[in-house]
A and B are shown apart, each in its own frame.
Chain A
Amino acid sequence: MNRHDFLSGLFWLGISIFAITKSLGLGVGVFTNPKPGFLLFWSSLFFGILSIILVAKSTLGRSGRTKLTDSWEGLNWWNPVITIVLLFLYASFLNSIGFLLAMLGFMALLYSLGRVKPQLSIGGAIVTVVLAYVIFHFALQVRFPRGIFSW
């Protein structure tokens, strides 16, 4: 069994069922008078059928045999996981603590994740963030959140 395809197929089937219920709520209409949910309904239905085919192919062994962990074997999978956590933390704290501090923390932690020495991580983060602020805020007029510096 191809576990990747099996699990992803089930996930997509769930998405298609959800989308179909939403489309029915919007109103599908008829061919002479399609309503807002028309394309969503038919595309979700088709999507659901394809998901079932994918699940069937994976269980019948037509798409090879894999384990769920195959795609991560021998790789530094914790790097993307930690990065994702840092990304969400950055976005969550961006408005409250401001761009400069949030990005500084984000960059310093990312550099240290790449095994850069702590002094270099912090120094590099400061240089990168200051340069980015100068380019984007002053040159390109992007309004960053000030957070704790909003006085």
Chain B
Amino acid sequence: MEALQSLSYGFSIAFQPENLFFCFVGSLLGTLIGVLPGIGPVGAIAILLPVTFKIPATGAIIMLAGLYYGAMYGGSTTSVLVNIPGEAASVITCLDGHKMALQGRAGPALGIAAFGSFIAGTLGIIGLMFFAKPLSSFALEFGPHEYCSLIILGLTLVTYLSHGSILKSIMMACFGIMLSIVGLDPMTATPRMTFGFLELFEGIGIAPVAMGLFGVGEVLFNLERKYSGEVVRTKIKNLFPSALDWAASKWALARGTVVGFLLGILPGGGPVLAAFFAYGLEKRVSKEPQKFGTGAIEGVAGPESANNSAASSSFIPLLTLGIPPNPSLAILFGAFLIHGITPGPLLLKQNPDVFWGVLSSMYVGNMMLLVLNLPLIPMWVQVLKVPGRYLYPIILMFCLIGAYSINNNVFDVFVMIIFGVAGYVFMKFKYEGAPLILAFVLGPMLDMNLRQALLVSDGKFVDFFTHPISAVTLALAFLLLASSLFPFVMNKLRSLRSGVKE
């Protein structure tokens, strides 16, 4: 009952005209970003972050949240029509979605993706509504040992789940922690690696780093290539799935929602992992697994519902624990701080208008996205045809303006450009920026909590294992690291055994 009362309070905030407007703008821009290959939700949130400085905090977070889950909706459009995922979580939708489009079934593919996203996203928000308060109360029991262990688990998970080399991902996470140290020490006010720059006393800003790595870096990377996606030419009709389509996909939707919700909560999880996991699960439980990859509607319904459910549930650790579980929400975490709000267990108490306002706006945003996605598909198809030579300069312009507007200081522009070059080089040398940005955001919390924990426990590391929550969290982190090394060890043993036999 209390949750429903709080929700109605949230709706009173979400339905304020200005917040409705921000929700609409965020959802629309998010869908547009999701449709356009090249710039993902991380880059979009980073690029638009400075735009939110001039608007009230609640409206800013509503807009950025709308952008995040809007991108999940939009990504499926390009996956189905062009076989190029608009963002990482839509990669798996290409497999069956585009095949359906080639068979003249683009409409049902897009329709089931949109409806599945709406249903899963709404159920995810309901889960968020009921889990948030108990989790916040539980999180009040957290001390420096628990926070430290949770951050370590988060960093371990994100490197474990990266797409490329685990070694390079761990290195990026380490580098992110090192970068986060720049600035005044919060305990002693000693300048750390500021090199005499006054602008670095508050540390390197999250916005220029994120805009550089994911905005400028992506554009530089794409400038080398010729955009070669071919939009499916068949007429898109029958966006409403038939009764047979619903019958075929209902269990995929249900499973995708649950899987996505659970994986979204985990640090390092999120929509990308949820989508891949859901596809694998559908293929495994299907009576006809051979039809996956040839245009199976379950291959669209499962991943799309999973990624939207995860997009909703990933707000749980952010809002209740103050731990962003993935890179997109790491930047959203930065947005909270910039607006003077600290996400975490006290958010519900200190800023209930922000918490319930954002949550309620997600319901509204989901409705808007369903309405936007279906009728506006022909418009998104036209947007896809805008050549890169017009689009990329505009994106760079937004980045340059955004970086300058943070502090009206050209120093931030230089920082963004440097990280843009770094992001481009990282991509060429197969390093991922996601572990870096997550570690960069979590680094200051890790520094503070680690030192406090050691001071409180007189330097005894064993105290991390005598606190139950900390012990369980560290054990999980250790198990994950060990399991990632397991295949390597087994291969080594096999090659040694075959060497001995010879």
Contact = CB atoms under 8 A, between A and B. Distances in A.
A86 B437 CA distance: 26
B220 interface: yes
B424 A132 contact: no
A136 B417 CA distance: 20
Contacts of B431: 8
Q: Classify chain B's interface size.
A: 35 or more
B174 interface: yes
A26 B390 CA distance: 48
A32 B369 CA distance: 53
Given A36-B190, A132-B397, A94 B454 contact: no
B393 A111 contact: yes
Contacts of A87: 216, 396, 400, 417, 420
Contacts of B192: 22, 26, 36-37, 40
Contact of B181 (A39, A83, A94, A140): A39
Contacts of A5: 429
SS class, residues of chain A in contact with chain B: helix
B451 A38 contact: yes
Contacts of B177: 39, 43
Contact of B389 (A84, A106, A114): A114
A101 interface: no
Interface stretch (B72-80, B229-237, B401-409): B401-409
A133 to B, nearest CB: 9
A63 B413 CA distance: 36
A63 B394 CA distance: 38
Interface in A76-106: 76-77, 79-80, 83-84, 87-88, 90-91, 94-95, 99, 103, 106
Given A4-B430, A90-B400, A128-B394, 17 more contacts: A32-B455, A33-B459, A34-B454, A36-B187, A36-B192, A38-B451, A39-B451, A40-B192, A47-B178, A76-B224, A79-B223, A79-B224, A83-B219, A114-B387, A141-B54, A142-B401, A142-B408
11 contacts: A15-B175, A26-B190, A31-B454, A36-B187, A36-B188, A39-B446, A43-B174, A75-B224, A80-B220, A114-B393, A142-B405
List of 5 A-B pairs having minimum Cβ-Cβ separation, nearest first? A114-B389, A32-B459, A31-B459, A110-B393, A75-B224
